[in-house]
Chains A and B, each alone.
Chain A
Amino acid sequence: MRIDTVLLKVASRCNLDCSYCYVYHMGDTSWRAMPKFMARQTQTLIADQLSGLFTAQAHPFAVVLHGGEPLMLGDQRLRVLFETLREGLPSVCPIGIQTNGVLLKRPILDLCATFGVSLSVSLDGPANVHDKNRVNHLGHASHAAVIAGLANLKSHPSAAALFSGVLAVVDPTSDPTDIYSYMKSVGVPSIDFLYRDGNRTTLPYGKLSVESTEYGRWMSKILDHYLADPNPPRIRILDDMIKLILGGAGVKEGIGLTDFGIVVIDTDGSFTKNDTLKSTLLGDRFDGSWTVYSHKLAEVVRSPEFLAYHEAQRPSSPACMACPELAVCGGGMLTHRFDSERGYDNPTVFCSDQKLLIERMRRYVAGHLSRRAAA
């Protein structure tokens, strides 16, 4: 088992209050007991333990600053955090930030450029789509502030290195043609579309039933535009699935059968499972009370409980094991497989959506390859 992603919850609070957020609005309230920001001592211990993890597994991993909103630390606290992390972290381990984009201003961007930190920004689409859910604590829209932040990011001299792309949460009631056109107009280098969180007991927004295909149809339309685009951005979920169809490897969590090696360190220094599991009744906490103050990360990830958590992501339901598309679909994210009777031992709630999308991809790929062979 190898860790490829260490997610640090450096801020437990957020300056936005997005209605669909799994941290604040899907039943988990652990954030209330967390310190607002990760303490200096916690940061120092983490940096030391990241060094130990790299030594133990002899393979690089990404460190992702997450929250809450990590940029709420402000540029001075971020500088200290970057310095502390880099003291323990070899340069082959990249540092990235997932941000809502509202606080993207020049001092923070300069700081990120200095320390080689990349930024992924949450942007769901044009204002009428984005602001349906992504609002502040007064219910005010955030889209204009995000676009201003993106303008600062794109005009920075180091923009190409800084800007890794956008994360867009799918609204299946939106028009995918509008979303694709909008993302192109903003000039994002890469997009990753995330399905709305939910599971087989609590259906994701927009899905009428487990068998319905709202997300698959929406994404199929994005696929149509993507494959016809003479100057396409990257779209990670589509790239991954098509590459798997072509015999290559996928990297996105919940796609394909490659293990996703993630460990999360919460704002108080406690080790947790994948934080998206907050949206299920089983939650994201280990039975053991592991923190950086009492345990070593390199030892935690070798423990039987951590290994059991890690292996739980591998699909095991009879339906998945018998499915001819398992190698592409991968069974979906663990959090999307949950139901209150069988836990995670189910196909993803997006099973029908993914089957529809994969079938369309296969037809495109077959057409492309046969034309190529005939040319």
Chain B
Amino acid sequence: MTDESPTSEMGLEPQLELLDVSLDSVALSRLLDEVREENAEMSRSYNRTYNRHNR
């Protein structure tokens, strides 16, 4: 990435100090629960055939 890149002007460089998400990150907790259910062979909430986008 060079300095001329438009994204570098928007503060998009990795901000390592900001990577501690709070314990209650809804998205991460949701994904952890889903992976746990998948591993237990429970019904999958999200797969390629159902609940999908169309690409």
Write the chain A residue with the least CB distance to B13: A217
CB of A243 within 8 A of CB of B23, answer no
User: Do most interface residues of chain B lie in helix, strand or loop, or is the interface mixed?
Assistant: loop
**CB-nearest residue of chain A relative to B48?**
A251
User: Within 8 Å of chain B (Cβ to Cβ): is A82?
Assistant: no
> Cβ of A232 and Cβ of B26 under 8 Å apart?
yes
Q: Measured between alpha carbons, how far is A212 from B18 in the docked complex, in Å?
A: 23
Cα–Cα, bound, A371→B29 (Å): 12
A289 to B48, CA, bound (A): 28
Complex formed: what's the CA distance from A98 to B34 in Å? 26
Output the nearest chain B residue to A260 by Cβ-Cβ distance: B48
CA distance A207 to B50 in the complex (A): 33
Q: Which residues of B contact A239 (CB under 8 A)?
A: 27, 31, 46
Question: Is there an interface contact between A60 and B49, defined as CB atoms closer than 8 Å?
Answer: yes
Q: Which residue of the partner chain, among A175, A192, A218, A371, contacts B23 with CB atoms under 8 Å?
A: A371
Q: Which residues of B contact A115 (CB under 8 A)?
A: none
Beyond A217-B1, A221-B12, whether A248 also contacts B48 by CB under 8 A is no
Add 13 more A-B contacts to A217-B14, A228-B21 (CB < 8 A).
A94-B52, A96-B54, A165-B53, A167-B55, A173-B7, A214-B7, A217-B12, A220-B12, A220-B14, A242-B28, A248-B39, A367-B19, A367-B21
9 closest A-B pairs by beta carbon, nearest first, are A248-B35, A98-B54, A217-B12, A120-B54, A251-B48, A363-B19, A192-B53, A232-B27, A173-B6
